[in-house]
Amino acid sequence: MRFTVAIDGPAAAGKGTIGRAVAREYGFAHLDTGLLYRAVGLAALEASDGVIDPVLAERIATELTEDDLARPDLRGSRAARAASKVAALPRVRAALLDFQRRFARREGGAVLDGRDIGTVICPEAEVKLFVTASEETRAARRHAELSAADPALTVGQVLADLRSRDARDSQRADAPLRRADDAVLLDTTELSIDAAVAEATALIRARIEQGRD
């Protein structure tokens, strides 16, 4: 069976958590597409003394493999900032397009979460979700993730970083962050993880059953 779930939304809205839970529930493969850009961004930074060279970033993106997504430092704030910068480069995005589309249509089903899955990568996905939450909620969540490694980090700093990333992601000319016209909105501001996952899995179950009729 080929069945694609596309999950989009801003940082720290909960799309990754929901994507992983949905993948476990249905036995689908899961791809956090943000890791692709984090891996490219970090590699480009390290290879060019802290300044991202667009040509080098494109080459790294072209040669990227699933093994490159296993780096333990891809979840850090440095990787997040680098990802947002390379994600604004059209040639990097184009280089990663086939990787994501092949993953999405693999046998057995796939869940992809990112910022342009339902609009660009998989516009024909069987299920599309747009997961969001208030800025304050997202900042608190991200701060909880990062503060153990960086005790000096404040919620205000995280909030400023999120706002900057949101602006870059939504205002870039190529594949900006936006909700697909046919994506179901899932606002997790007031939802527990369990409740958000339950809503997502119920929607997917209904679509699967429709496909069997």
Q: Is 200 annotated as a binding residue?
A: no
Q: Is 11 annotated as a binding residue?
A: yes
Q: For the chain, give the secondary structure using H, E and C.
A: CCCEEEEECCCCCCHHHHHHHHHHHHCCEEEECHHHHHHHHHHHHHHCCCCCCHHHHHHHHHCCCHHHHHCHHHHCHHHHHHHHHHCCCHHHHHHHHHHHHHHHCCCCCEEEEECCHHHHHCCCCCEEEEEECCHHHHHHHHHHHHCCCCCCCCHHHHHHHHHHHHHHHHHCCCCCCCCCCCCEEEECCCCCHHHHHHHHHHHHHHHHHHHHC
Q: Is 123 annotated as a binding residue?
A: no
**Adjacency order of strands within the sheet including 127-132:** 29-32, 110-114, 4-8, 127-132, 184-187
Q: Is 19 annotated as a binding residue?
A: no
How crowded is the C-beta side of 174, counted as CA atoms within 13 Å?
13
Q: Is 12 annotated as a binding residue?
A: yes
Maximum Cα interatomic distance, the chain, rounded to a whole number of Å: 57
Annotated binding site: 9-17
Annotated binding site for ATP: 9-17
